[in-house]
Amino acid sequence: MPRDARVYVAGHNGLVGGAVLRRLQAEGFTNVITRASRELDLRDQAAVRAFFAQERPEFVFLAAAKVGGILANSTYPAQFLYDNLMIAANVINAAHESGVRKLLNLGSSCIYPRLAPQPLREEALLTGPLEETNRAYAVAKIAAIELCDHYRTQYGSDFISGMPTNLYGPGDNFDLKGSHVLPALMRKMVEAKEAGAATVEVWGSGTPLREFLFVEDLADACLFLMEQVSEPGPINVGTGVDLTIRELAELIAEVVGFTGELVFDASKPDGTPRKLMDVSRLAGLGWSARTDLHSGVSQTYDWFLQERAAGNIRG
């Protein structure tokens, strides 16, 4: 991508969009276009068409979506399905109509079939029943991947899809009901430590396994994909390493300095038992994650304390 190319980052206020924006700015891109949802609701087809016709971006990072953890997904499935279908359909179609040179769409490891063989290979997509707790979201994410592939075959559009694993890092959502596990446990443990509380509640059994990629590494992968990959089908972006929720909670407790007891609430859903991705395809193209989980959690903790003091934490 030329440094003066017109680059649109959809979702720049979010975890992924924020990391991609920081990286583009660090790399010296001078023409980055952004819009908050209050300025441009991507569910509004006419507004999206008008935006693309007016701004004519050449490259698009599609990191706008309605995103949440296991409880949010199972509580608001209609919104997760509708919003994500509309956002993807409007942006992908307007990108085609306005002649965008390349678009990067993002899937998620949680959209693979619940019982697909692990580690998950890209070919496993659509080969079996989905995880119920986030099926609505998954259907919308799968539709976006399918749209990109069919716009490639029918119109020759260079629209690609990355398939990130669970992400975390600066800019994450720390709302205790709507967020993902890592920010939720970090916030709960910080607040428990400060309050002198003896316990912290962990949802579920603690036995599910999850893989976590630091969002700055994902941003690096997004630029790599935009520069290096132009082929159909999702491409996994992860670390290839997972751990149990119990092990994650113990790691966060050690970083935060919470020495109380972890109490597991079996009334909360575990979700899919495991979703470790096979990351060999992207490794074969020359990209691998650099930040180990302990370092990423430590960096996220430092960022959380600093931004909480400034009143900038989402959630």
Ligand X SMILES: NC(=O)C1=CN([C@@H]2O[C@H](COP(=O)(O)OP(=O)(O)OC[C@H]3O[C@@H](n4cnc5c(N)ncnc54)[C@H](OP(=O)(O)O)[C@@H]3O)[C@@H](O)[C@H]2O)C=CC1
Please report, in range form, the residues annotated as the binding site for substrate: 188, 203, 210, 270
- Using DSSP's 3-state secondary structure scheme, residue 125 falls into coil
Q: Interface residues with ligand X (CB under 6 A)?
A: 11, 13-17, 36-37, 41-43, 63-67, 83, 87, 106, 108, 164, 166-167, 173, 180
In the 8-state DSSP scheme, what is residue 211? E
State which H helix or E strand residue 8 sits in: strand 7-10
Nearer to ligand X, 15 or 192 (CB): 15
* Cross-strand bridge partners of residue 212: 166
Residue ranges for the known binding site for NADP(+) are 11-17, 106-109, 141, 164-167, 180
Among ligand F7E, ligand X, none, residue 164 binds (CB under 5-8 Å by kind):
ligand X
Among ligand F7E, ligand X, none, residue 14 binds (CB under 5-8 Å by kind):
ligand X
Which pairs from 26-33 meet CB under 8 Å and 24+ separation? 27/3, 27/223, 28/3, 29/1, 29/3, 29/4, 29/5, 30/3, 30/4, 31/4, 31/5, 31/6, 31/7, 32/7, 32/8, 33/6, 33/7, 33/8, 33/9, 33/57
Minimum CB distance to ligand F7E, residue 141 (Å): 8
Among ligand F7E, ligand X, none, residue 300 binds (CB under 5-8 Å by kind):
none
Other Cβ atoms less than 10 A from the Cβ of 204: the count is 18
Nearer to ligand X, 64 or 71 (CB): 64
* Cross-strand bridge partners of residue 243: 210
Contact 32, 24 (CB under 8 A): yes
Is 137 tagged catalytic?
Answer: yes
In the 8-state DSSP scheme, what is residue 207? -
Q: Is 184 in the site for ligand F7E (CB under 6 A)?
A: yes
> Choosing from 137, 151, 155, 301, which is the catalytic residue?
137
Q: Is 245 in the site for ligand F7E (CB under 6 A)?
A: yes
Q: Is 166 in the site for ligand F7E (CB under 6 A)?
A: yes
- Using DSSP's 3-state secondary structure scheme, residue 199 falls into strand
Minimum CB distance to ligand F7E, residue 74 (Å): 8
The sign of the CA dihedral 128, 134, 139, 141 is negative
Among 98, 108, 161, 300, binds ligand F7E (CB under 6 A): 108
- Using DSSP's 3-state secondary structure scheme, residue 162 falls into strand
What residues contact residue 22 under an 8 Å CB cut-off, 6+ apart?
216, 219
Nearer to ligand F7E, 48 or 200 (CB): 200
Minimum CB distance to ligand F7E, residue 81 (Å): 13
Residue ranges for the known binding site are 11-17, 106-109, 141, 164-167, 180, 188, 203, 210, 270
Q: Is 268 in the site for ligand F7E (CB under 6 A)?
A: yes
Q: Within 13 Å of residue 102, how many CA atoms lie on the same side as its CB? A: 18
Nearer to ligand X, 72 or 262 (CB): 72
Minimum CB distance to ligand F7E, residue 50 (Å): 30
Q: In what order do the strands lie in the sheet with 234-237?
A: 32-33, 7-10, 59-62, 102-106, 159-164, 234-237
Among ligand F7E, ligand X, none, residue 268 binds (CB under 5-8 Å by kind):
ligand F7E
Among 61, 159, 203, 214, binds ligand F7E (CB under 6 A): 203
Active site residue ranges: 137
Q: Give the residues lining the site for ligand F7E (CB under 6 A).
A: 67-71, 73, 108, 110, 134, 137, 166, 179-181, 184-185, 202-204, 208, 210, 245, 268-271
